[in-house]
């Protein structure tokens, strides 16, 4: 299969999914269970992306300075630090450990 066939197939699937979203009856979307799940989906997707980017390196599980940076960010969040401080703390911890040669 060529790359262009895969790209066009992905475009067709994305268009079909968007079209299917318009065809869903509004009464189905107004149900309490559906609204509860859709309210939590962005949080779950963001957590999954953070986990993949933190622990993944190709096809292997990697524990390096990124894990310590995320742990420092979680600690700062639990201490109710402002978001900018959380980002700076996470970056400083990860950069410091990499500078010390702990992880690449």
Give tens-digit pLDDT for 19-63: 998 998 989 888 999 999 999 999 999 999 989 988 887 788 888
Q: What is the per-residue pLDDT for 104?
A: 58
Q: Which pLDDT score, from 0 to 100, does residue 83 have?
A: 95
| Assigned token pair, 61 | 């599980």
What radius of gyration, in Å, describes the C-alpha atoms of the chain? 20
pTM of structure: 0.62
Mean pLDDT (whole number) for 75-100: 95
Which residue shows structure tokens 């475009």?
11
* Nearby residues of 29 by Cβ (< 8 Å), 6 or more positions away: 35
């Amino acid at each position: 299969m060529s790359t262009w066939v895969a790209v066009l197939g992905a475009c067709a699937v994305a268009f079909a999914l968007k079209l299917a979203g318009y065809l869903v009856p509004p009464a189905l979307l107004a149900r309490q269970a559906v609204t509860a799940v859709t309210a939590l989906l962005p949080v779950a997707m963001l957590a999954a992306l953070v986990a993949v980017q933190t622990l993944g390196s190709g096809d292997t599980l990697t524990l390096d300075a990124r894990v310590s940076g995320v742990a420092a960010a979680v600690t700062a969040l639990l201490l109710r630090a402002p978001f900018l401080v959380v980002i700076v703390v996470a970056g400083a911890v990860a950069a410091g450990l990499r500078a010390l040669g702990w992880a690449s």
